Structure 1
Amino acid sequence: MKTLVLATAALALSTGFAMADAHGKTIRMGTEGAYPPYNFLNDAGEVDGFEREVGDELCARAELTCEWVTNEWDSIIPNLTSGNYDTIIAGMSITDEREEVIDFTQNYFPPAASAYAAKSADADVMGGVVAAQTSTIQAGHVAESGATLLEFATYDETVAAVNNGEADAVFADKDALVPTVEESGGEMVFVGDDVPLGGGIGLGLRESDTELKAKFDAAIQSMKDDGSLNKLIIKWFGEDANTF
């Protein structure tokens, strides 16, 4: 799951945005909309994917009115703390670093692996050029691995860098890479072993929104208890996906 380096710049609130709470006001669900199958924009331009289905079900169980908004990954935490939306539901790993700034619900997706993909199984992922999305846990791992890190703003750009020869390999969530590799027609393959990173995915919230956190925690737990969360994980990530 992606983990971003915390940004410190303050962002201005747009005039019409109000800080929502758990007392009947609309809750704005912030996501990236560019990281399938977790979240993406469908042909109608609407947020879709695993997290859309999970988020809608959580809102229904918590008896909340929720709206979906998209935000670029590298400013997704500052826009939460500024009040532009009320949750982050965007494939975000729960980390100690991030918990210094925002709060998290319990995880709604278990810890999963990251992986390398390249045009050749012999690609040098330890000493070559490896592409990763900027401000992610994967980018941090590459920077410490001895490889040359090539960062891009979006996941799609990291894959394009491999295809056009800028990078020897891409390092990302394996769940995101699986469909990319499968749809490449043999042009891309996995390289080496999976790399376990992160501690599962949770909803990010402002530290002050304790009541909202409690509502979502209860809703997530109910989905775990009745098996509906595992069903959605399998639907979007396949029978071999990690489940609860």
Structure 2
Amino acid sequence: QKKVLRVGYNPDHLPYSYFNTRGNLVGLDVELIHRLAVRLQVKLEFVPYKNDTVIKQLESKEIDLAIGGLIITPERLLRAGFTHPYQTATLAVVLADHRREEIVNWDDPQIPTGLKLGVAYNDLAIAARRQLPHVEIVVIDSLSSFFKDNSQQLDGLIIAAEDGSAWSVLYPEHTVVVPQPIVQRPVGIAVRSQDLTLLRFLDRWLDFERMDGSLDRLRSFWVEGGGIKKQSPRWCLFRDVFHWLP
């Protein structure tokens, strides 16, 4: 009987881990961890987490590791182990397309006063408040809440550019702006701080995935959407391959 690897995932972090319109859990990290399961010959058990509970779920041994575009922060490193980064999160702002010129530089004194920006993750909120000290930053429940109803009447959304590019395809009236200078944060897989053997293995395994081109192929498919050819005039990458659209 195969051993079970309990994997924590964020159910609403497109393009890393999310449910498509068919109800399947998919994404860059989900496909990556399925590759790990084949290598280890283990069965995967997926357990959802929220950003403010993921470390507790690791510590309580509810999950063995956590995926889903997790940003590595000094605060998290005090309580959990992280692999070497396999991806970066580039700090960006999603704005209505006609407002894209409002935030070009993080330290621009011409940024409109009274601007109200949402952010779904506390780790990004910390970085956002550091870059935009005069802007009101509001932590929201989920990224989808901004795009679907924006009940808090936000002017925009602080987000990783890699995430925002996917959302802007679903909601093309929005655009992703990467203000200068570029600010990036590392993304990794989290494990319990005492699981050093697992951590070392994951680092070496990610080296293999990187060196044989697998990580680049996953990134191209899930983040950049590249390498996919149209098959018919009615064919749509984001509907027929990613299943983001109904």
TM-score by length of 1: 0.78
Deviation at 1:81, TM superposition (A): 1.0
Match of 2:144 in 1: 156
Alpha-carbon separation, structure 1, partners of 2:169 and 2:21: 21
Match of 1:83 in 2: 61
Alpha-carbon separation, structure 2, partners of 1:178 and 1:44: 21
Match of 2:95 in 1: 118
Contact 1:132 1:158 in 2 (8 A): no
Contact 2:166 2:223 in 1 (8 A): no
Moved more, 25-34 or 208-217: 208-217
Deviations 1:27-46 (A, max 9, x none): 10100110111110133433
- Match of residue 53, structure 1, among 22, 31, 41: 31
Match of 2:117 in 1: 130
Matching of residue 182 in structure 1 with residue 163 in structure 2: no
Alpha-carbon separation, structure 2, partners of 1:237 and 1:107: 16
Contact 1:62 1:216 in 2 (8 A): no
- Match of residue 72, structure 1, among 43, 46, 50: 50
Match of 1:20 in 2: none
TM-score by length of 2: 0.77
Alpha-carbon separation, structure 2, partners of 1:239 and 1:36: 13
Deviation at 1:160, TM superposition (A): 4.2
Contact 2:16 2:29 in 1 (8 A): yes
Alpha-carbon separation, structure 2, partners of 1:157 and 1:33: 14
Deviations 1:119-139 (A, max 9, x none): 2224466641011114232x1
Moved more, 88-97 or 114-123: 114-123
> How many correspondences in the alignment?
212
Which runs of structure 2 are paired with 1:16-35 in the superposition (5 Å)?
A: 25-35=3-13
SS at match of 1:37: coil
| Unaligned segments of structure 2, at least 5 residues | 104-110, 227-246
Deviations 1:7-36 (A, max 9, x none): xxxxxxxxxxxxxxxxx7311010011011
SS at match of 1:150: strand
Contact 1:113 1:196 in 2 (8 A): yes
Match of 1:96 in 2: 74
Contact 1:132 1:152 in 2 (8 A): yes
Deviations 1:190-214 (A, max 9, x none): 3462642312x21100012122222
SS at match of 1:181: helix
- Match of residue 127, structure 2, among 113, 123, 141: 141
State the AA in 2 paired with 1:56. H
Alpha-carbon separation, structure 2, partners of 1:216 and 1:97: 21
| Unaligned segments of structure 1, at least 5 residues | 1-23
Contact 1:159 1:170 in 2 (8 A): no
Deviation at 1:55, TM superposition (A): 0.7
Deviation at 1:47, TM superposition (A): 1.8
Identity %: 21
Alpha-carbon separation, structure 2, partners of 1:99 and 1:203: 12
Deviations 1:153-189 (A, max 9, x none): 211123346x55711111101111112223323x222
- Match of residue 238, structure 1, among 216, 224, 243: 224
- Match of residue 211, structure 2, among 225, 230, 241: 225
Matching of residue 62 in structure 1 with residue 52 in structure 2: no
Note the aligned Cα RMSD (angstroms): 2.3
Contact 2:168 2:175 in 1 (8 A): yes
State the AA in 1 paired with 2:164. L
